[in-house]
Amino acid sequence: MTDNSRDSRHPRLESWKEIGAYLQRDVRTARRWELEEGLPVHRHSHRSRSSVYAYPAELDAWRASRKVVPEPPPARPLWKIPAFAVTMLLCLVMVGNGVRPVSAQQAAATARQLWLTGDEDPCCTAPSADGRYIAYTDDSTGDLGVRDLVSGTSRRLTNRSGRDFAEPTKAISPDGRMIAYAWTMENVAELRVIPTAGGTPRTVYRGKSPNEYLLPHDWTADGKQLLVGRKLADNSWQIAMVSVADGTVRPIKSVGWGLTDPQLSPDGRFIAYAAQRGGGDILLLAADGSSETTLVSGPGKSRSPIWSADGSEVLFVSNRTGAPSLWAISVRNGKPNGPAILLRADFIDKYPLGMTRTGALYYTANGNGGTNIYVADVDSALKVREEAHVATEGSFNSNLGPAISPDGERLAYFSNLPGRGRVLMVRNLKTGEEREMGQQAGANPNNSAYGPMWFPTGDSVLVYARDPNRPGYHFWRVHLGDRKREELLSLAQLWAYALSPNGKSLFYAGQETIDSTGALVRFDIESKRQTVLTLTPSGANSISVSPNNQEVAYMVGGGGPNKDGTRLEVMPASGGQSREVHSSSPWQDPWNVNGLGWTADGKSLLFVKPQNVETVLWRVPVTGGRPEPTGIVRKGQIKSPQMSPNGMQIYFGSSEPVPGELWALENFLPQTAAK
Amino acid sequence: MKSWVLLSLVLRPPLGLDLYMPIPESNPLTPAKIALGRRLFFDKRLSRDGTLSCASCHDPKLAFSDGRKVARGINGQEGTRNAPAIINRGYGRTFLWDGRAKSLEQQVLEPILNPKELGMTEALVESRTHLKIGEVTGALASYVRTIRSGNSPFDRYAAGHQRALSELEKAGLAVFRGKARCTTCHAGPNFTDEQFHNTGIAWRDGALVDSGSGEGKFKVPTLREVARTAPYMHDGSLKTLEDVVDYYDRGGNANPYLDEDLHPLNLTSEEKSALIRFLRSLSGNVRQGKL
């Protein structure tokens, strides 16, 4: 952490909701990232503040450090996979309702959707042994609850007060009667147990210092001890056992800065866990501390180990063949007993939770939301004629940043492809042909607001990227013909940018060096000359240049310590006095919005404004006046609104929340299927 | 002594330490091996001229350090690095200041064969001890694994005994975790992240005088028993804990490879005093292989 993590432009994010909004993800994803990938979230700083907070610059650095894993060669050729696995892959996905016991006679694997979870997040919690119950954290309240999957009812178990909340990691006792959970309060966290049927919670362990907390992952079979991840006050982690009766903590192993998914074997002798946040080797640690064995090592990263019901296998998710897939490895006496086998090749955005005693694997899916590119036909008054539709079918839920080519015939955008990261794509709007133009230079900035921007010749685009090997933000010109990249500019801080339609100037809001004052700057690409147009110490979150290159529009405010109002301003591209086109009370999510564009005739500005849980695309005359809604309303964030050169369509990106789902995969293990 | 007695000692670490200690399958811990390792550790036949043993630089009375700026080998030869305190090294992942040894078995052989330290050859070790070199290193590594420090006032405080630390020590702990951000590197039960960092110590007159593991980076040492292991840093260049705190307070020596987490701390004199008091609370009970 460095001083610049305390960025005055981006004030501290004070809740899971703000953190999620900044990351453009839902709350559960932010929480999961904290647990599994080390998202830098702080706790318990001041009594007057929320129990969690984060610094945008730290989040940015974390995002930049999430390196894309190169696609490794397959560990085993597919033809070597045992026939039963192939058979199961062909027989998957039969959707049913309710919970049913797994029949030992079932021949085919089935995947059944159990629950559309909404705000009730079962993240990181194994189901009860009989599969009937699962604990959840209510993202809207922070309370702990339990879902009866047979009756389809949810029951809240806690009454949250103040800023307390239940951490997402919970564990249901072997007899299904108790739930262990971590309860985070102001300046202290407790490990508690509460009856599944409801009742008064009992504190098992109270943190000895503000930053210490224990996350329950599993119970011993006798219900007397809990396997916990223990975060120490220095932010390092331990695997430990805790006595349910008296809270005595027995540290087993210190694991440094990250701990992922420890799971106790059914016989209680071994603990399987992922060696690193974000995935790594799967290790088997003897619960008595006597030994440790690497169960699964590369290629790729592995995570989310889950013991089979009989303890003979450990399931895990690995990207060893590219995309995240579900694998299993046989275990005998705490050692690997043969090579890992592939069970399901399509385990993208799926997180195993645990197995029932009958061998059903419960997992969550689709919690991350989707980003897509849409297009809406508009009339001469810029009102949409009909509801916007998806403009690109490929890589659904993974596309961002539309850019219409100057001739209006091609659409450039990014696709986040599994195992490959952000790939530049170009779609021919006439033929529908989509071509990959290469992986984006540098690290994946993981910012879904900004896509590529066309140079007027139509043969190259502007992109920006972060680089894990050097600080700052870097602009590149990517030539689509030979796919060569040419670095144009590096900045210490970047808030918003736009390329002029004539391709001669890059306008950005940011800081050239970390010590310089934030400003709106025109960078003339050929001469490399930079001209400060106006100082914007509080940043700017959207910039757009008029079609005639004469004016630049930008949005400022909405954030900062004073939570000042948001203003839409226009100034000459050559510098000079700005004028306010529109202003309003501060907008909720001022970060990374990129919600500004010009109409094709240059007479109006399109701008995005949140409205409750939706965002609305508005139009306002560039001379000022009353804004009018275009009729484009989305549940997620509208980004990069852009009008086609003929003025007949509006393209935009949108991040849409996708409801979380709980699924059960049954009869899929070789042994189970063979019985 | 029955083997189960030792096993129980291994499985019950001092307060504050992990239950699990990595022990290679190729060198399981046995009482006989530990006892042999202990004898070898103090055996001066392991130096070419018979004047020094491992314990000469790793004196149990000094928490297994030697109190010298840099290690002194046979014939009075001085090395370039400080002899580290070999406390809780069984929990380590890399060994020696530059991490070039990947196991304790590798590490224990390095000073024995170093011409400026004990100056032996493998053949000479075997002829003098009548043991194979693997038996010597296995036994020494086994003994070193039993050298553990825990149950310090800090450990008792962390376990919930509020009075185990004085108010000044608690204030120092707050500085350690807070303003001084020592836990960026000195974290976990052993107060080290086992990583390598450039703190600027090796930067002199515009150049690196020792590249360490590369770019002037050296391994973060444990802070267990730190009050007993002066002088400090990889070259022993800082004589006292006060010097160390002052050094970090000014942000280390600026150089092209300085760790980005280092910058001036602006500690007050009270905060420095408290921090040092806290560091002194990390001295506890040092156990070693004597059953």
Cα–Cα dist A501/A209, whole Å: 56
Q: Do B19 and A254 touch (CB under 8 A)?
A: no
Range in A446-455, B36-45, B74-83 with the lowest mean pLDDT: A446-455
Q: Is 70 exceeded by the pLDDT of residue A440?
A: no
Which residues of chain A does B161 touch, with a Cβ-Cβ cutoff of 8 Å?
none
Q: How confident is the model at residue A621 (pLDDT cuts 50, 70, 90)?
A: very high
Cα–Cα dist B48/B125, whole Å: 9
Minimal Cα–Cα distance from A508 to chain B, Å? Answer: 27
Mean pLDDT over residues A244-263, rounded?
89
Task: For residue A567, count other CB atoms closer than 10 A to its CB.
Answer: 17
**Residue pairs between chains A and B whose CB atoms are closer than 8 Å:** 69
Across A432-515, where does the E strand assignment appear?
Answer: 434-439, 453-454, 460-467, 470-479, 485-491, 493-499, 505-511
Q: Do A291 and B23 touch (CB under 8 A)?
A: yes
Chain B within 8 Å of A63 (Cβ-Cβ)? no
Mean pLDDT over residues B13-29, rounded?
93
* B contact test, residue of A58, A203, A205, A234 with most B CBs within 10 A: A234
**A61 Cβ partners below 8 Å, 6+ apart?**
A5, A40
Please give the order of strands across the beta sheet that includes A661-666: A110-116, A661-666, A361-365, A350-355
Mean pLDDT over residues B205-212, rounded?
94
Minimal Cα–Cα distance from A616 to chain B, Å? Answer: 42
Beta bridge partners of A145: A136, A156
pTM for this one? 0.66
Q: Are the folds of B2-149 and B152-284 the same?
A: yes
Range in A94-103, A168-177, A515-524, B122-131 with the lowest mean pLDDT: A94-103
The pLDDT, as a whole number, for residue B222 is 97
The pLDDT, as a whole number, for residue B30 is 92
Residue A312 has what DSSP assignment?
A: S
Q: Is 70 exceeded by the pLDDT of residue A290?
A: yes
Q: Do B21 and A289 touch (CB under 8 A)?
A: yes
Cα–Cα dist A134/A115, whole Å: 10
Highest averaged pLDDT of the listed ranges A118-122, A469-473, B228-232 = B228-232
Interface of A with B in 186-245 (CB under 8 A): 208-209, 211, 232-236, 238
Which of A235, A251, A288 has the CB atom closest to B189's CB atom? A251
Range in A338-352, A547-561, B206-220 with the lowest mean pLDDT: A547-561
Which residues of chain A does B12 touch, with a Cβ-Cβ cutoff of 8 Å?
none
Tokens representing A659?
Answer: 């409801």
Q: Where are the domains of chain B?
A: 2-149, 152-284
Comparing B72 with A118, the larger pLDDT belongs to: B72
Minimal Cα–Cα distance from B222 to chain A, Å? Answer: 14
* pLDDT digits 0-9 by tens, A62-88: 765 543 333 233 333 333 334 334 333
Topology, domain B152-284: Cytochrome Bc1 Complex; Chain D, domain 2 (1.10.760)
Chain A within 8 Å of B19 (Cβ-Cβ)? yes
Range in A468-472, A621-625, B181-185 with the lowest mean pLDDT: A468-472
Minimal Cα–Cα distance from A251 to chain B, Å? Answer: 5
* pLDDT digits 0-9 by tens, A346-384: 787 788 999 999 999 999 886 556 788 899 999 888 888
Cα–Cα dist A309/A2, whole Å: 46
Chain A within 8 Å of B188 (Cβ-Cβ)? yes
Chain A within 8 Å of B187 (Cβ-Cβ)? yes
Q: Is 60 exceeded by the pLDDT of residue B3?
A: no
Range in A54-58, A215-219, B52-56, B280-284 with the lowest mean pLDDT: A54-58
Q: Do A254 and B23 touch (CB under 8 A)?
A: no
Taking the alpha carbons of B203, B207, B211, B216 in that order, is the dihedral positive or negative?
A: positive
**B194 Cβ partners below 8 Å, 6+ apart?**
A256, B92, B93, B94, B219, B220
Minimal Cα–Cα distance from A489 to chain B, Å? Answer: 23
Range in A17-21, A538-542, B114-118 with the lowest mean pLDDT: A17-21
Minimal Cα–Cα distance from A40 to chain B, Å? Answer: 13
Q: Is 80 exceeded by the pLDDT of residue A27?
A: no
Cα–Cα dist A35/A250, whole Å: 21
Q: What residue of A is the nearest CA neighbor of B175?
A: A234
Which residues of chain B does A256 touch, with a Cβ-Cβ cutoff of 8 Å?
187-188, 193-194
Mean pLDDT of the residues in chain A: 80
CATH classification number, B2-149, choose in 1.10.10.10, 3.10.450.50, 3.40.50.620, 1.10.760.10: 1.10.760.10
Residue A556's H or E segment, with its range, is strand A551-556
The pLDDT, as a whole number, for residue A289 is 92
* pLDDT digits 0-9 by tens, A185-195: 878 899 999 99
Q: Do A254 and B188 touch (CB under 8 A)?
A: yes
Instruction: Give percent above pLDDT 70 in chain A.
Output: 77
Which residues of chain A does B17 touch, with a Cβ-Cβ cutoff of 8 Å?
251
* B contact test, residue of A254, A291, A470 with most B CBs within 10 A: A254
Q: How confident is the model at residue A627 (pLDDT cuts 50, 70, 90)?
A: very high
Are B267 and B249 in contact, with CB atoms under 8 Å apart?
yes
Cα–Cα dist A128/A113, whole Å: 17
Range in A20-34, A66-80, A471-485, A498-512 with the lowest mean pLDDT: A66-80
Comparing CA positions, the residue from B159, B193, B154 lying closest to residue B282 is: B154
Q: Is 50 exceeded by the pLDDT of residue B247?
A: yes
**A441 Cβ partners below 8 Å, 6+ apart?**
A463, A465, A474, A476, A478, A485
Q: Is 50 exceeded by the pLDDT of residue A673?
A: no
Q: Do A289 and B18 touch (CB under 8 A)?
A: yes
Highest averaged pLDDT of the listed ranges A95-99, A439-443, A465-469 = A465-469
* pLDDT digits 0-9 by tens, A315-342: 999 988 877 899 999 999 999 999 999 9
Range in A212-216, A343-347, B125-129 with the lowest mean pLDDT: A343-347
Which of B20, B158, B177 has the CB atom closest to A285's CB atom? B20
Cα–Cα dist A14/A212, whole Å: 20
Mean pLDDT over residues A168-183, rounded?
94
Q: Is 60 exceeded by the pLDDT of residue A7?
A: no
Q: Is A426 helix (H, G, I), strand (E, B) or coil?
A: strand
Q: What residue of A is the nearest CA neighbor of B183?
A: A234
Chain A within 8 Å of B22 (Cβ-Cβ)? yes
- Rounded to the nearest 10 degrees, how much is the dihedral formed by the CA atoms of A583, A584, A588, A589? -10
Cα–Cα dist B172/A36, whole Å: 32
Q: How confident is the model at residue A220 (pLDDT cuts 50, 70, 90)?
A: very high
